[in-house]
Amino acid sequence: MISKLLAETTKKHISKWLVLVIDSIIISFSFVLSYIIRFNLTLDFDVQQLFYQLPLVVLISCAAILIIGSHKGVIRHTGVKDVYNLFNATCLASIFTIFFVVLIKQYEFVEGFTIPLSIIIIHSLISFMGLTASRFLFKYLHHQYQSRNNLKITKNVLIYGASESGIIAHNVITNSPLNTARVIGYIDHDGRKVGKQINGVKIFGKEELTESFIHKNKISEVIFSIQKIGPNELRKEVQELVNLPIQVKIVPPVEDWINGELKPSQIKKVQIEDLLDRPPIDTKNNKIGEALKNQTILVTGGAGSIGSELVRQICLYDYTSLIIIDQAESALYDLQQELKQNGHHNYIALVADIRDKNRMSMLFQEYKPTMVFHAAAYKHVPLMEYNSYEAIKINIAGTKVIADLAIQNNVSKFVFVSTDKAVNPTNVMGATKRIAEMYISCLQQENKTKFIITRFGNVLGSNGSVIPLFKKQIEKGGPLTVTHKDITRYFMTIPEASQLVLEAGSMGNGGEIFIFDMGECVKIFDLAKNMIKLSGLSYPHDIDIEITGLRPGEKLYEELLANGENTMPTYHKKILISKTKCIDYNAARTKIEELCLTNMFFSGNTVRLMKEIVPEYVSKNSKFTQLDQEKKLDTPHLSDVKEKNLT
């Protein structure tokens, strides 16, 4: 019968009414046992009187259980809260029983009827222990039956953190119907906890977590479960675990738990993003809200990595309307469906090419945007090195189209998303972005639209970035390809970069180049090794790293400021204003317009002309390096050594 009942409960939960019936049986047995204990384990009492008392006691106890609701708990997941409910139910039953006995005795409803107070007290204690023990016994039998008949233990795990979060993680793992793990211990820094046990699971000190300990106990996973910890400390702790021959997983923050409860599926592998020290961001910001209120906002490149996140964050605010433009039909459709599912409706998604001036002009006239976020661009360095025509056409000419229309249609603010590759560019892509910056600076002189430039480095997980590439290479068994052992990059999360773009747009008065604090630069070779370790593999035994050599136009180190530039602080600690060199705006604008016109005729002189416009543009590892070796052109530089704050 028990086996059948256990088999049934692996598929569904026991009915609360069946639980009530079982509780009634336990209460009945406890009442009889209380008399036997009271009379020194003999039957030297009025047994006939017992049969009159038993129905009343059971009825009162059932009423107390129904009032407290202790029969509604899921038996297989019995915990402290359930035991607390059982205690309340037995206490309430005892109070009701005493009340009814006094009432009957006072008004003599039943002649000679009484229940000794000692019996009531003994019964309440025995029934509480019986009800509690039955639940934990059933819980134990259920898990034993389930583990024997369904899944076998395939791995041993440690939980890092013997706090409340760690205990919850242990319960979630052991109670999961798909559990294949055995928790053999906790790891904790607190010396007062070391050597003790929690629910029979021993707590070990951090110093005991060594390779020999791991091999001896056949540990394959460590689950990091500490909630109140800063990003720097988290990175340090997890970094130490990564160096061990184990897979590292992490319990998400409490606020990310589903309906306040941790699910087994939420305990996932530590991602490389967790080790890059990028703090979480606030999803809503009052200053951004004020800047976007009652605005008609246009986002170009709205289906891209940064553009789509800008759209998601803008949707959280009180704007008038949102126009999303992208030429990538599939990506734009996916974003549209996502916004619909999240309940956002005050937007319109348009498939359009920013290089099409007539189409863009019609859209500006129809929707009349008051604020533009220009994120559309070609950004892949090696690809653009061999496709300079397209890079100039979208990054310069496309930006020129949108910027010119912004002035013609009285747009109040124009926020341009640039890149650190525009600083002392060594490739076509970086040079096109720098020229776009210069053109926007030229338009700022007309004092009609407030043009604002934001400049930052790589974003984690963006299309074509190194981290998704490494993940695909690991899935295929390697090797991971790194262009140079010493190459470094700055990284920022997509949500953080997008929020800082919005923040810069809200604080900008026109003419500024906002530089984002990217934190510390990351060595790509170390990044590759960490990603291998986080995948539960070892370098170089399981997956090797191959040095392929710098790609065309690629730098070893990225920069956020050009030669002769420095920064000034803003009220936001993550945003600085670049104090840039003054340029000859008339000459620069003439040259840029010449470049766009020359590019239309597929002229081979476009890169040479770009080097005239941006004299600090020196190609590296590229076919265009020969242009730098030629005699300097007689055309005067468009940059002047005199520094001037554009703000």
DSSP H or E segment with residue 89:
helix 80-107
Q: Is 129 exposed, middle or buried (0-12, 13-18, 19+ CB in 10 A)?
A: middle
Say which of 413, 421, 433, 611 is annotated catalytic: 421
Q: How far, in whole angstroms, is CA 211 from its chain's centroid?
A: 30
Q: Which residues are CB-contacts of 261 (< 8 A; sequence separation ≥ 6)?
A: none
Q: What CA–CA distance (Å, rounded) separates 558 from 555?
A: 6
421 carries an active-site annotation: yes
Q: What CA–CA distance (Å, rounded) separates 300 from 382?
A: 23
Q: What CA–CA distance (Å, rounded) separates 549 from 352?
A: 37
Q: Is 380 exposed, middle or buried (0-12, 13-18, 19+ CB in 10 A)?
A: middle
Q: Let me know how many helices (H) and strands (E) the chain has, helices first.
A: 22, 24
How many Cβ atoms from other residues are within 10 Å of residue 327's Cβ? 18
DSSP H or E segment with residue 300:
strand 296-300
Coil vs helix vs strand at 178: coil
List, as one string, the DSSP characters of 545-599: EEE--PPTT--SS--SS-TT-EEEE-SSTTEEEEEPEEE-HHHHHHHHHHHHHHH
CB–CB of 542/532 below 8 Å? yes
Overall residue count recorded for the chain in this entry: 647
Q: What CA–CA distance (Å, rounded) separates 376 from 396?
A: 11
Residue holding tokens 């390697």?
A: 478
Residue holding tokens 């956020």?
A: 560
Q: 245 preceded by cis ω (within 30°)?
A: no
Q: Measured between alpha carbons, how far apart are the two ends of the chain, in Å? A: 82
Q: 479 preceded by cis ω (within 30°)?
A: yes
Q: What is the dihedral of CA 184, 187, 192, 194, to 10 degrees?
A: 40
Catalytic machinery residues: 421
